Structure 1
Amino acid sequence: MDATLQPAAKKSYVVPLVTICALFFIFGFITWANGTLIPFFKMSFSLSDAQAFLVATASYMAYFFLAIPSSWILKQTGFKNGIVLGLIILALGGLIFIPAAQSHSFGLFLTGIFVQGAALALLQTAVNPYLSIIGPMESAAKRISMAGICNKFAGMIVPFIMGALFLANAGEVEAKINAASGEEKVQLLNEVLGQVNMPYIVLAIIFTLFAIFIKFLNLPEVQPEDDVVDETGGVAVQRKSIFQFPHLFLGALCIFVYVAAEVMAGDIIGVYGKELGIKPDIAKYFTSLTLTGMLVGYIVGIITIPKYLSQQKALRICAILGIVFSVVAYATSGYTSVVFIALLGLANSLMWPAIFPLGISHLGKFIKIGSAIMIMGIAGGAVWPLIYAFLKDSVGLDFQLAYFVAVLPCYIYILYFAVSGHKVGLKGK
C-alpha cells in the first residue's frame, strides 16, 4: 500500500469522494468551456485554426510548467489548503477575462486561460492521487470514473450554456465582424467580447465560495509511507529516487497521448464537423456527443471495475476501440464520420481512470511528486491540436487524413502501456 488516510478517515470516504466529485465538475466546466472559446475567439478575432487552437495550448501547457511547483506547494500546504488555493487562483484567472474583453486583447485572454490552467494543475495534482488512495488501489478506477461522470456531465452542459451565450447566430455575427471596419468594428467587438464578463464573474464567485466551504470542511490528510520496498529473492530493496520508477514516466507519457486524443475528440470535433460542411450552429453541439460517449463509458467502468474487469484490461479494451473508431472515422464521411469521432469519447472514457492509478502505484512517499509528473502529461492537449493544424494547413494533408495521422499513434501507445508498460520496473508484477 502506497499511502494511507488518518485512522478516523478509514471509516468512510464518502464525504471526500463527494467533495472531489464536485471539484471534478468544476474542472470539466472550465476545461470544456475552452472548447467553446476556440470558435468564439476564432469568430471574434478572425483567427486561423492554428491561432484559435492556442486556447487549448495556453490551458494545457500550464500543466507542464506548473505541475512540479504544485507538488512543492502541496508539500507546504497539504492537500486541503492546496485545493483552497487552487480555487482562488481559478477565480482570479477568470477575472482576467474582463480587462481582456475591454481591451480586445486575445493575448490577455490567453493569459487568463493560462492562469486557470495553472490553478487546474494544482487542483489536479492534489485530488487525483487523493482519489486513488482514499480506498483500495484496485478499485481506484471505479472512484475516478464516478468523479469522471461529474467532470463530463459538466462538459456536456457547457456547449449549451456557453454556446448559447457566446455562439448564438455565430455565422451571422462572424460575417458582420469581417465586414465591419473602424468605429463600427470596435463597437461590435465590445458587444461580442463583453459577453464573457458576467459568466466569468459568476464563476469566480462560485469558486471563491466553494474554496471557503472546503476550508472549513473536515477532509482527512493523506499519510504516505516513508519508504518503498521491493521483495526480490527474499531481500528487501529500498527505492530512494523517483527515477527508480520507470512505470511512472511511461504512465506520464500515456497521460500525454491520452489527453491529446481526448482533446482531438472533444475540442476539435466542432472544427472537424465544419470541415465536413456541417453548419457551425449544429457543429457547436458535437462536443456534447463526445462527452455523452465518455459518460456511458464511465457508467460501464463503475459497474464492471474491479468485479468483472481489471483496470489493465479495461484500458486494453478502450485502446483497441480507439484504434477501430479512428479507422472508421477516416474511412467514412459526413455525419457518419462525426459519429465515430464522438464514439472516441466512449473509447477514451476509462483511460484516465485506469492510467493514473497504474502510473502512481507503489510510489509510497513519492506520491505527490509522482502525481505531479503524471499531471505534466496533460500538456499533450496543448501540443496535439497544433500538430493537427500543422499537418492540415502546412503539410497539406486532407483534414481527415491529418486527423487520422494525429490520433492513431496515441491509441497504439496506450495499448502498449495497458499490456506491459505499466509493469516496467515493478518486481514480480
Structure 2
Amino acid sequence: MKKLILSFLSLAALLFLLPTLTHAAADSKIRLYLNETKLEPAVAPYLAGNSTMVPARVISEALGALVDWNNAAHKMTVVVDEKKIEVFENSTLGYVNGKQVTLPAAPVVKAGTTMLPVRFIAEQFDFKVQWDASAQAVYLMTPDAVAAVAGHNELWSINVASDSVTIQAAEGMKANVFSLSGPDRIVIDIPNAVAIGSLPRLGEGDAAVVTLASANPSITKIRYSLFDPETSTLRIVLDTNGKVPYEIVSPTGASKLVLSLKKPASGKFKVVIDAGHGGYDSGAVSVTGKYEKTFNLSVSKKVKALLDKEPKIDAYMTRSNDTFVPLDDRAAFANNLGADVFVAIHGNNFSSTSNGTQTYYYNSYSKAFADTMHKYLVAATGFRDDKVRKEDFRVIRKTNMPGVLLEIGYLSNKKEEALMFTSSFQDKVAAAIVKGIKAYLGL
C-alpha cells in the first residue's frame, strides 16, 4: 500500500514542477505508471493558480493512514507512519509533527473531497519520477523499484506512430539496429537495459518474451526479450509487413531512439476493398428482396472511386463485378499485393428488429484499424453503435495486414434497408470509409 501512496505523491511533485503537464493530466492526456502498473486514480489532480491539487483522502486511504476530518474546525489530520500532518481548509498554514509550515496553496474541499497542494505533500516522501514526452506518460518508481534496476538503463516505452518508432530510455542508448528477413523484421538490441515504465516486465527465465500490439499498418506486432543475460541486452523486434525501409534520425547515444519509417518506394499505400459475396453467392436477401452482394459492390465501387482521387493511395478491389471470389483468394490477393490495409464491406441480416452498425476484426494488429474505421462509419450511418467486435471471419483472419469487416446496417430492418439502397446514403458511407482509412494511415 505504501508503494501506491508514493506513486500518487510522485505524480503530485511532477505536476507541480511541470505546470504544462498538469493541464494535460487534467485532460486525461497523460498516462500514469507506477513501476510497471498503469494507474487509474479515481480523482484526477487539477491546476489551481501555480499549484497542482490532489485528493488528500484518496492518497491517505491508499496508504492505510489514519484520517480524521474535523468539520467544525475545517481541519484534516493525517497520520502516516510516524508523521502527523494537519491542514486547514482555505488556509496556507499547517503543521507537520507539531511544527508550523506554510503551504504553497490553501487546501480546498470539492464535492466532499479535500484537495491539497502537491508541493506540500511531495516534500514529505522519497520517490523517483520520469516524464516521457514521446509517449505522453509519467513513470513513477518506488524506492524498492529503483533499487531493483540499479545499474541498468531503464527502458520506459516503445511508441509507434504512422511514420516512426520511438524508444525512450532513462539514459543514452548504444543500440544496434538491423533488418532480417524470413520473416521480415527490424531488430533493435539495447545492452544493459531493463523494461520498466509502461513496458510489462519480462517473466521468469531468459526465454521470456513480451508481445505488444501495433497501431501501424507496416508493423504487425512488437516483441521484446532478454536476448543476452550476460550483458543484459534487451532485444526488440518489429515484425513488419514485407521490407520496411527505415532511418535512425535520433543522435547517437541519445536516450530517445527514433526510427523514421520511410514510405513505400512508390510513395503510395496499397488499400484493398473487398465487396462481400458475389456471383451465385447473393449474401443476405433484404426485407424487400434485394441482394446484399449488390449493396456491397455498389458501396465498394464508390469507395474505390474516392480512393483513386487520393495521390498517396493505390486502391484495389477483390471483385469489380458480379462474380464470386473464394474467401481464401480474397485474402491471398491482398497478401500477395503487399497491401497496407484490407476492408471488407457487407450488409447485415438477422431479424426485423435488429439494427446498428458493427465493425469486426480478428488479428490483434487489426484492432486499432477497426476502432478508427468504426468511429467514422457510425457517424456516417447514423445507426445504433453496435460496437467493434472480434470474430473469426476467414477473410480477415487470413490477411497479413490490418483488416476489418464492416457490417454497415441490417438489410432485415425495413428502415435501415430503405436507406442502404439509396445513392446518397452509400455516398456518405463511402466517404466515411475513405476518411477512416486515411486517418489510420496518417494521411
Taking structure 1 as the reference length, the TM-score comes to 0.24
Which protein has the bigger helix share? 1
- Bigger fraction of residues in strand: 2
- Structure with larger Rg: 2
TM-score, structure 2 normalization: 0.23
The answer to which structure, 1 or 2, has the higher relative contact order (CA under 8 A, 6+ apart) is: 1
